Chain A
Amino acid sequence: MATRSTLPPLPSPSAPVPGGPGRKRRVNESVSTWRLTDRIGYLFMWAAGLLLCAIGIGIVLFMALKGLQYLRPSLLVSRPQADLDQSKSGGFLDPLLGTVILTIVGIVIATPLAVASATWVVEYGRPRWLGRAVESGIEIIAGTPDIVIAVFGLVLFQQGIFGWMSFTAQGGAVFGRSFLTAGSMMSLIALPMVFASTREGLQAIPSHVREASYALGKTKAATIRRVLLPSVRANISTGAALGMGRIAGDTAIVVVLLGASLQLDPQGDVPGLKTLKGTGGTLTSYVYNNSPAGEGNAPQKAYSAAFVLLLIVIALNFAVDLVARRGSAQGIETSRLGAAK
């Protein structure tokens, strides 16, 4: 029985498709005719697929349940206080602001860098070895653990020339921890995603588009600026949204480079800059510190903050779909799972 064709036959151009046009015809095969080992494998495969669904739905439902159970609007607008009594320890306004500030700082640094590198690699990339080295370099950064990036940031920004970015003690020792320094290192987390997405977009633009632009007398630089970059705008936003999701969800860099303090702790007296130069915490560090592993040990607060964090990250990740549907994004449709990398 195993000799039966089990894939839907390709419709030949001359013969009419049986079942009428537009209907997918599938030869029904019975798994019961398979060999036992194949049937066991098939069973395991279904089990894996369903388990995956169950885990995903389970995590979302569990977090939603716990989050809605403990989340109060007042938690979102009150500042956290260090207090053993949970009714007095306030909400998580500061960590929420910290997440927003850090994400913005990180993506503002990462996007131009990543777009410039991707443009150079695709459009110029000469000498060849250097172009390839840059591409592998970005892959290496993508594979570097965030904790290593964090401790690297600490030693880098404790050098004297970066003193303006953070708090400098009386003796001239640079503290190295601030929103600016943490944001700079966070940009390395987001960089590979923006780079990959921009590169995909640029590579998907047919070469006749460039040739048409040259034929109209535009230089290569003008072509990049006026023709190529506008047409990969959707790709850049996709990558940026994914990168922002990654930044918002990262904890190690916050713990090491931002101080992971409860409240925002401004330095100096220039408005705006003083927050950026100061230390603080984000939702991730708030969750970490309020879990049994941290000092706070307030599971209810941790659950509600984690729920808010999860909502932010999910929103950023699925904003990608909106961008792809609206814009003329190149190469986004083909790699819908690419976001998982």
Chain B
Amino acid sequence: MLEQVRKPWTDRRAERSLGALACLVLLVILFMVVFVAIRAWPSFHANGLSWFGAKGNVDIQLDRMVNSGANPTKADYQLGAWPLIYATALTTGVAVILGLVFSLLSAIFIVEFAPESLRRLIVPIVRLLAAVPSVVYGLIGILVFVPLVGNHLITPGQKQSVQYVIQLSGGSLLVSSLILTIMITPIMIAFTVDGLYAIPRSWREGAVALGVNRWRAMWTVTVRAARPAILAGAVLATARALGEAIMISMVSGSKGFAPNPADGLTFLFEPLRTLAATVVENAESINAPAMRASLYAMALLLLFGGLVLSLGSWLIKQPLKKYGVRN
């Protein structure tokens, strides 16, 4: 038996073994969808489509699930996850829009306009920002920015205006989306820079020869041609932002509350909690069946979000193949 392994491998055997290992990846994805879906089923079954709707206070519903014990009744499965879904969409949306502008400007700066000395500084900084663990971002957020916003930015009047609905303490939409922006910007910069470099320099030179300035040439020719790369980066960054759990759970105030845009500026200071943060915070009580089903249902939603976004980025990247850009 051992001798068989030690003998030089034949081509066919090498191909089969390597191929089998490679297909393990597909198996893992299949298992992931199936297992998570099976565990999530009771929650969807009990709630139907109203799972996605608003049905009173989410935190109370989750508490009831924890207390329902080993044999929950159907009423214990009641969950309207709308505030969590809304919070996820809100933080992700704000972060991606801000990040898109920020990363596009920074990428143009890196590729075309930055002095060489500054470029040598900024590239390691982008990599550093990508490498910082989310818990470190969360720590800085909760110890520096949350108190800052809570004590100085929110006026007592704003606190009073919503005091019967929610307490404003600083953990808010504002802090979570801003830190999330900083976390996803490096990914977008990496994609955008690669995309901008992949566009032949002669195109830009052609535009300059026709008489526009460098900024115009960059903006109207190179950026426009690199749009698929920029979009692919944005899509991947969206996936990253959707799944961010730890940082959000630390700085968002962690309330199952849907911030109300009708509150004006106070809207920015209202607390929230995303799907991923809910899962990670309630992981301790995952043994209660009702809670487990609900948490797996949220995970399934995130998983599908990730799958759709991966598919999207794959579709977007197809036109890029002709410039030889591989990501």
Do A and B pair up? The answer is yes
**Which one of B26, B135, B211, B243 lies within 8 Å of A287 (CB-CB)?**
B135
| Contact string against A for B residues 172-185, beta-carbon threshold 8 Å, 1 for contact and 0 otherwise | 00000000001001
* Cα distance, A10 to B306, chains bound together (Å): 45
Interface residue? A147 (CB, 8 A): yes
Residues of B within 8 Å of A48, CB to CB, are 102, 105-106, 109
Residues of A within 8 Å of B144, CB to CB, are 62
Residues of A within 8 Å of B314, CB to CB, are 136, 139
Chain A residues 256 to 286 lying within 8 A of chain B, measured CB to CB, are: 256, 284
Assuming the A-B contacts A49-B110, A288-B250, are A124 and B15 also in contact, with contact meaning beta carbons closer than 8 angstroms in the complex?
A: yes
Interface contact A146-B215, CB-CB below 8 Å: no
Interface contact B250-A341, CB-CB below 8 Å: no
**Which one of A33, A138, A299 lies within 8 Å of B25 (CB-CB)?**
A138
| Contact string against A for B residues 106-141, beta-carbon threshold 8 Å, 1 for contact and 0 otherwise | 101110011000100111111111111111101110
Residues of A within 8 Å of B105, CB to CB, are 44-45, 47-49
Interface contact A306-B136, CB-CB below 8 Å: yes
Q: How many chain A residues have a CB neighbour from B under 8 Å?
A: 103
Chain B residues 216 to 255 lying within 8 A of chain A, measured CB to CB, are: 216-217, 219, 236, 239-240, 242-246, 249-250, 254
Taking the nearest CB of chain A, how far is it from the CB of B19, in angstroms? 5
Residues of B within 8 Å of A309, CB to CB, are 133, 135-136
Interface contact A120-B18, CB-CB below 8 Å: yes
**Which one of B17, B138, B205, B279 lies within 8 Å of A7 (CB-CB)?**
B205
Assuming the A-B contacts A220-B11, A291-B250, are A341 and B327 also in contact, with contact meaning beta carbons closer than 8 angstroms in the complex?
A: yes
Interface contact B213-A34, CB-CB below 8 Å: yes
* Cα distance, A148 to B8, chains bound together (Å): 41
Interface contact B204-A293, CB-CB below 8 Å: no
Interface contact A139-B215, CB-CB below 8 Å: no
**Which one of B10, B208, B213 lies within 8 Å of A221 (CB-CB)?**
B10
Interface residue? B142 (CB, 8 A): yes
Interface residue? B2 (CB, 8 A): no
Residues of B within 8 Å of A49, CB to CB, are 105-106, 109-110, 113-114, 118, 122
Assuming the A-B contacts A5-B208, A154-B286, are A146 and B36 also in contact, with contact meaning beta carbons closer than 8 angstroms in the complex?
A: no
Interface contact A137-B29, CB-CB below 8 Å: yes
* Cα distance, A33 to B215, chains bound together (Å): 12
Interface residue? B59 (CB, 8 A): no
Interface contact B236-A119, CB-CB below 8 Å: no
Interface contact A57-B125, CB-CB below 8 Å: yes
Give 6 A-B pairs besides A52-B129, A221-B14 with Cβ atoms closer than 8 angstroms. A60-B128, A200-B326, A287-B136, A309-B133, A313-B131, A340-B131
By a beta-carbon cutoff of 8 Å, the part of chain B in contact with chain A is 8-11, 13-15, 17-19, 21-26, 28-29, 31-32, 35-36, 38-39, 102, 105-106, 108-110, 113-114, 118, 121-136, 138-140, 142-144, 182, 185-187, 189-191, 193-194, 204-205, 208-209, 211-217, 219, 236, 239-240, 242-246, 249-250, 254, 276, 279-280, 283, 286, 295-296, 299, 302-303, 306-307, 309-310, 313-314, 326-327
Q: Can you name 16 A-B pairs with beta carbons within 8 Å?
A: A34-B213, A34-B215, A47-B105, A53-B118, A55-B129, A124-B18, A136-B310, A145-B244, A151-B299, A252-B276, A284-B133, A293-B138, A293-B250, A313-B133, A340-B189, A341-B130
